[in-house]
Structure 1
Amino acid sequence: MVVVALAGAVVVRRWWMIACAAALCGGVLLGALHAAQVDRTRLVDGQGYEVAVQLTSAPRPHEAAGRTWWSADGRIAAGADEARVSLSGNGDLAASMGDTLIARMVAGPPFGRGRSASLRVVGTAQVVPAHGPAATARVLMRQVAGNGDAGWLLSGMTLGSDQGLSPVAADDMRASGLTHLTAVSGANCAILLALVHWLGGWLHVPRAPRALAAGVVLGTFVVVVGSQPSVLRASVMAGLTLAAGLVGGRRAAAHVLQVSAVLLLMLDPWLAYSVGFMLSIAATAGLIAVIDRGALAATMAAQVATFPILLAIGGAVGPRTVIANVLAAPLAAVVPVLGLVALAGQWAVGSGGVAAVLGRALCELILRVAAWDGVPELTWLPGHAGVLLACVVTIGVFAIGRRHVVVVAAGLVALVSSTIAFADGWPPRDWWIVACDVGQGDAFVARSGGGVVVVDAGTDPETTDACLDRLGVDRVDLLVLSHFHADHVDGLGGVFTRPVAQVWVSPWREPVEQYEQAQRLLSGVPVSVPAPTAVALVGDMRLTVIWPERVIHAGSVPNNASVSLLLTTPHASAAFLGDIEPEAQQAILRAWPIDVDVAKVPHHGSAQFDPRLPAAASARIALIGVGEDNTFGHPAPEAVSAWQQAGAAVYTTAANGDIAVTRELAVEVRGRRDPGLG
């Protein structure tokens, strides 16, 4: 209501109306902030209780380290207050978006910004199916769409969900940059409204009835899809912008878009971190630029306008992505409309008719486009320069001529992405192991076969979180905390800004302060002390626990109780040795044949090491997590020399910054470009 009031004030240019609407907005903002405070205080970490949560996403299945689990997004409503949460649980969950989950849950730290908490389901969950028009529409859509990937894609592109796609199809959609097709955003609303506007113009319907018809269609669409916050935001922005454009032209539409964006940010400041919100604004801005050009032009304009944002968040933007989006754009403008027509037919006469058949056929074409990978693996210019170039390209597309936006968009983006002087970005596309530069501490990430393992968390949450963000890590299948010293666990909060499936920890619960702090953060996550010789399978990685077999009271007990691992994949192997000292190193050498490609040097390259270890490991690459000018003298020159004499190229985070080892055992560094010490 506030958005409507202020938007109208801007269109008619009555400044007293703008002032009143702004005052009203301030009152609503204070109420929203109060509600947000209530939400946060209601959820207490570590306490189990029965709660009802409405799912705002379909459950996402996961499998790693010998267990299956699911994750989802949800919201808890109590009166006027609402809390957004992340959910997870063991096994499978047969539920759909909109259903209500009732179960005993344990609260933990929030996964991601804008969440009040993460909730883990313990025991059996009761699923209460959703009711109302949106739930009925999803049931009817499943009946009319049919089975198979094409049917699920038709349903998803119509109502907004990637549920049901096979793993192969889902991977193809991700690799080709087409996952946005199954998310309801400003682009969907723009296409629908542009189609209504274009049809009205073709039929010579006056502007006012056209605007009214567009509003009715948009309102019906929201009811059918469901009133999730993302849908409401996208529809409000697109609807108000188009209405303003019809009444006051392109300039008025731009003003209303700006006002609605600011007001939505005031009502929910966390939207500043929402990629979906940014994409909705960009897509709607693209619609404004081609407001009289039809649905196809609207689709292409949305693609071009969102290009810099997709690049900035680390999306794969290469020739395959560009070609796939150009080929899919005309289909993406038609499929949702066919889906809605088929849905209406199923509701009215029990059959989707020709619309359903055509929709599935077009979805088959989209899936074939997504699966096609016959183009070179190139990447866009990395870093801020690449994003700036993308902005220049986008502005150029719209500046050259709105009249030819479809041809210009396809040609210019494809040309630039195919002919520019491409450079590898960070991280390298085929990275396997990365040593994060977290100062004097350890934080390592391993990725292979779709699985992600993090070994230790460094000293600072923001630094660790930033490293994982740069790597595009949006979930962690297994977190290993070798021991509880501060330089390995104080950055734990940075790992937990994303879902963590399970955690392995050292059996030695000292230092007490760090142990208790870690336990608070680990509340609500499956935690275990792995037994010697325990094995976990994550992606195509096999992790074998080689230590500790017992507590060694010589030297540093916490260091010698470090969880140590052998990691093997079909292409290479690695050893992660925590901070073990000579006593534990000798025990491992007696029990295990350590012959690996990559070794995480124990205890930051301390002078306290068994001289036989480097030769026994025979690693080609030795990685040391260490801070510049630290007071411990790490790494000790004799330790570096021993690993070098054993044939390893030694890299330290102090000298090299983040260090990436690829599947082919090449090494690339970020930040400081000093060569390895080997």
Structure 2
Amino acid sequence: MRATSFPHSALLDLRLVPAALVTWAVTLVGLLGGWVPAAVLACSSAVLLVAAWSVRGRAWRNGLLAVLIIAGVAAAGVAVRAHAVSAHPLRVAAQQGERVTLRATLAEPPRPLQGASYGARRAQDRSLAHVRLSSVDTGEGKTRVGGRALLLVPTAQWRTLIAGQEMTVTGRAVPPRGGELLAAAVQVNRPPTQVLPPPGWQRVAEDLREGLRSTSRAVLGPAAAGLLPGLVVGDTGRLPPEVVEQFDTAGLTHLMAVSGANLAIVCGAVLLVLRLAGAGPVPSSVGAGLAMAGFVVLAGPEPSVLRAAVMGAITLFALALGRERSALPTLSASVIGLLLLAPGLATTVGFALSVAATAGLVLLAPVWAGAMHARGVPVGIAESLAVPAAAHLVTAPLVAAISGEVSLVAVAANLLAGPLVAPATVLGVAATVLAPISAALAAALVWLAGPELEWVLAVARHASAVPGASFGWPSGVLGGALLAVLSVIALIVLRGRIARLVLASVVLIVVVVVIPIRHQVAPWPVPGWAVVACDVGQGDGLVLSTGRDREAVVIDTGPDPVLMAECLRRLRIRSVPLVLLTHLHADHVSGLPAVLSGREVGSVAVGPLNEPAWAAQEVRATARAHGAHVLPLHAGQRLRWPGLVLDVLGPRGELARTTSADDANDASLVVKATTPAGRVLLTGDVELPGQSELLAAGVDLRAEVLKVPHHGSRYTSPALLAAVRPRVAVISVGAGNDYGHPSPLILGALTRMGVRIQRTDQSGDIAIAAEGDGRAVVERGDPVRPDEN
């Protein structure tokens, strides 16, 4: 959307802004505080409505009455909904943790779990599915009841389901997170039963989406084939994890989420074609409206899509009537309407980001573009600079509050990538529609979109590689509020010429001097590194140099593909002859696709226990898809490289023959690595029984470095620590985890032994490197922060 397309008078039309802010505020009160505070606000609005009649001045009185009416309606609506949820039979069952059977309809396709969720657990094998309830059976009888619930389901067994399918589900109900109008969250471990076919339009939409995915895979490279469905319908399931990380660092993640930008591109293209064909305002608006409706069906009725559709519908209505578009009233009206219809949007990050970005385009971009044009900058260039700058400035506090980071390259990256997103999106939508008619024509359109996609990918790749591309910032509400205050102060101060010159000088010094010095003083990877414990959150991910350039063995891959991919990128690893998975729990194997993607990989080594079964299947399927061989390992085997020797020490005894998933931790592969920096004992999650087996077998466990078992849990034997006698103990653990890791008992025992303790939650990536005749520990000092949502 061009910044100067907003009439300046529209920017000053603030009549609906108070009503929108009040609607949002009372909705938040109801969602976070419950139905009682919302009911009190509704009653208070009714009382104040009577008092408002005495206000002098017709304009002020009418404005106040309008705000109070909308506030009362919003508060009453959320109070009724919140009360219904609190008394819902499924909520009652959730309070007791009961098993329930639901008859429900999928509201949207299951989406892989990203980050911590219920139970603070991160696992790639789980997906989230929102459902509309038809009935609930708690064991005491079936109750026909409406409402919504969130299901935590196994990805492999649910991935083929689409929105609109009705099914029966059984699982354990738990209370949902606060701020959501959900009856409960239900933990499901089985596939659904009695599944009905989806509505015809949902089936058609899914077939169209699959047509785009298959055509993209046939024509484009892996990264571009994953990006195009993301631009068109928000489907990023096949995007390589390292690309996701690059987009995040570069501030381009919003391109892969269906929002108002996608809708504006599609509708804009239709409007342009109809106007060029000579159609008037009303036919053009009808055509664009039909395109909008079709796009909503294609992308799925997600909250972000509906949010964009409401904005677009109001805009098209204004166009059809021939009225001058007023951007700020349109935004305010869409906020009010959406919150009245779907109060749950008030607490969603996407809604806040969408509103903030649009407000920035409405309020700041036209002013900045006009100021630059007045100083001789051409209109097109001025708008191209003002739009991403305004959007980034107003959304930066929200992004910082969520991620704990502030991107310094986002404006430049969006400026370079933005112009090519529109043609790629239009070509992708056209290919999606034409795929059922002509596969060849669809393939040609996707091929034409290839160069644009590669350009966007290159921008993300190079922008994320810039030294100091992002820096840490306090997360949470306080961090976001602090950045917002600083941004407002900066806007006020920078109105002066001297202040702008000072800022330009500071930026120049930082770019030319500070960042290069920082990266020269603390280079990464450190010279001569032998072992790096990657900061992958609550899990294990270790990288061992083989002595060859850019080649390393990976021991476990962490819970998050993005974090593992970023660690390998920082170490510049291009070849991985072996990925060794100590055991098959999600916090050790879920990052496997990131390790295998885009690198030469030889084998994936696993232990004797193929449990959990889903994980064993996923590991084998992932390895097979990347051309890697699955290699079983057992105690006594030795593997060699020029600068690395691995000796498999365990599991031993009965644990080497176990078939029980309950023994997964104790069946961990225990490996001693001999490196130029000394011996390193890698223990997976082995606990007391497994440690006892090793000690009883008389295995030589001595090592200079110990990777403490199970993230420093209290189930580590003092006898094991005495047998190892490490100088350095590395604990791979997630910041703010809910498991109490590492245990104060283990930390105390190591401290009394004089062991130097290094933790990834405090130091970030930890490198072990040789230094003369001794050993050195080098800290990266960039720990991953715990999830805030």
**Under TM normalisation by the shorter chain, which class is it?**
0.5 to 0.7
Number of the residue aligned with 1:100: 165
Percent identity (aligned): 21
The answer on whether the counterparts of 1:579 and 1:603 sit within 8 Å (CA) in structure 2 is no
Gap runs ≥5 in structure 1: 402-410, 437-443, 455-475, 481-501, 505-531, 534-540, 551-561, 626-632, 672-678
Per-residue CA deviation, residues 55-89 of structure 1 (Å, 9 max, x unaligned), is 62455499xxxx99452433233388332313322
State the alpha-carbon separation in 2 of the partners of residues 412 and 196 from structure 1: 45
**Which residue among 101, 121, 134 is the counterpart of 1:49?**
101
Q: Quote the Cα distance in structure 1 between the aligned partners of 2:470 and 2:462.
A: 19
- State how 1:463-474 maps to structure 2 within 5 Å: none
Indicate the structure (1 or 2) with the bigger Cα radius of gyration: 2
1:382–1:233 distance in 2 versus 1, CA, 3 Å: same
Measured in 1, the distance between the counterparts of 2:394 and 2:647 equals: 43
Shift of 1:206: 9.7
Alignment partner for residue 306 of structure 2, among 224, 228, 232? 232
**Unmatched tracts of structure 2, length 5 or more:** 1-15, 24-58, 115-122, 135-143, 370-379, 496-503, 526-531, 543-553, 561-584, 590-610, 614-633, 636-645, 656-664, 734-742, 769-776, 784-789
Identify the residue that residue 216 of structure 2 maps to in structure 1.
147
Q: How does 1:403-418 map to 2 (within 5 A)?
A: 418=511
Pair 1:183–1:96, CA change in 2 (3 A): farther
- Across the aligned residues of Structure 1 and Structure 2, the Cα RMSD in angstroms comes to 6.3
Contact 1:190 1:287 in 2 (8 A): no
1:160 to 234, 249, 258: 234
Counterpart secondary structure, 1:313? helix
- Indicate the residue corresponding to 1:381 in structure 2: 471
Counterpart in the other structure of 1:25: 74
Q: Pairwise mapping of residues 171-182 of structure 1 onto structure 2 (< 5 A)?
A: 173=247, 176-182=250-256
- 1:250 CA drift (Å): 4.9
Whole-angstrom CA distance in 1 between matches of 2:167 and 2:296: 26
| Partners of 1:228 and 1:602 in 2: CA distance | 39
2:416 is matched by which residue type in structure 1? L
Do 2:249 and 2:464's aligned partners in 1 also have CA atoms closer than 8 Å? no
Name the structure 1 match of 2:296.
222
The answer to whether the 8 A contact 2:103-2:169 is kept is yes
Q: Does 1:268 align with 2:344?
A: yes
Paired AA for residue 78 in structure 2: L
**TM-score of the pair, normalised by structure 2:** 0.52
Counterpart Cα distance in 1 of 2:113 and 2:466: 31
Please give the secondary structure, in 1, of the residue aligned with 2:188: strand
State the number of aligned residues.
Answer: 546
Cα deviation, residue 451, structure 1: 3.6
How far did residue 230 of structure 1 move?
A: 3.2
Corresponding letter in the other structure for 1:327: L
2:778 corresponds in structure 1 to: 666
Instruction: Classify 1:55/1:636 alpha carbon distance in 2 versus 1 (closer, same or farther; 3 Å).
Output: closer
Q: Structure 2 vs 1, CA of residues 503 and 275 (structure 1 numbering), >3 Å: closer, same or farther? A: farther
TM-score (norm 1): 0.59
Matched, 1:595 2:703: yes
- Which secondary structure state, in structure 1, belongs to the residue aligned with residue 470 of structure 2? coil
Q: Distance in 1 between matches of 2:187 and 2:269?
A: 42
Structure 2: distance between partners of 1:364 and 1:638: 52
Question: In structure 2, do the counterparts of structure 1 residues 478 and 418 end up closer, same or farther at CA, with 3 Å as the change threshold?
Answer: same
Does 2:419 correspond to 1:330?
A: yes
Is the CA contact 1:141–1:343 (under 8 Å) kept in the aligned structure 2?
Answer: yes
Describe the shift of the 1:642–1:371 C-alpha distance in structure 2 as closer, same or farther (beyond 3 A): same
C-alpha offsets along residues 503-538 of structure 1, whole Å, 9 cap, x if unaligned? 99xxxxxxxxxxxxxxxxxxxxxxxxxxx99xxxxx
Alignment partner, residue 586 of structure 2: 477
How far apart are the structure 2 equivalents of 1:397 and 1:579? 56
Mapping of residues 489-500 of structure 1, within 5 Å: none
Do the aligned partners of 2:539 and 2:588 also contact (CA within 8 Å) in 1?
Answer: no
Aligned partners of 2:701 and 2:723 also within 8 Å: no
CA contact (8 A) 1:70 1:93 kept: no
Q: Give yes or no for the alignment of 1:77 onto 2:133.
A: yes
The reply to whether residue 288 of structure 1 matches residue 362 of structure 2 is yes
- Matched residues in 1 for 2:17 and 2:462: separation? 44
What letter matches 2:306 in structure 1? L
Residue range with higher mean Cα deviation, 190-199 or 116-125:
190-199
Q: String of CA shifts for 1:423-471, please: whole Å, max 9, x gaps.
A: 89xxx999847799xxxxxxx64345684369xxxxxxxxxxxxxxxxx
Which amino acid in 2 is paired with 1:617? R
Aligned match of 1:40: 91
CA contact (8 A) 1:393 1:412 kept: no
Residue 33 of structure 1, CA deviation: 0.9
Say whether the 8 Å CA contact 1:244–1:256 is kept in structure 2.
Answer: no
State how far apart, in whole Å, the 1-side matches of 2:493 and 2:327 are. Answer: 15
Q: Deviations over 1:133-157 (max 9, x none)?
A: 4542442354367232445533332
Contact between 2:246 and 2:464, CA under 8 Å: does it hold in 1?
no
Q: Deviations over 1:154-176 (max 9, x none)?
A: 33322221134456655655565
Q: Distance in 2 between matches of 1:158 and 1:371?
A: 21
Retained in 1: the 8 A contact 2:202–2:297?
yes
Provide the residue aligned with 1:365 in structure 2.
455
In structure 2, relative to structure 1, the CA distance for the partners of 1:568 and 1:321 (3 Å cut) is farther
Name the counterpart of 1:553: none
CA contact (8 A) 1:36 1:81 kept: no
Structure 2 counterpart of 1:512: none
Provide, for residues 94-136 of structure 1, a one-character-per-residue CA deviation record: whole Å limited to 9, x for no partner: 5254253735532254686646214324257676553344542
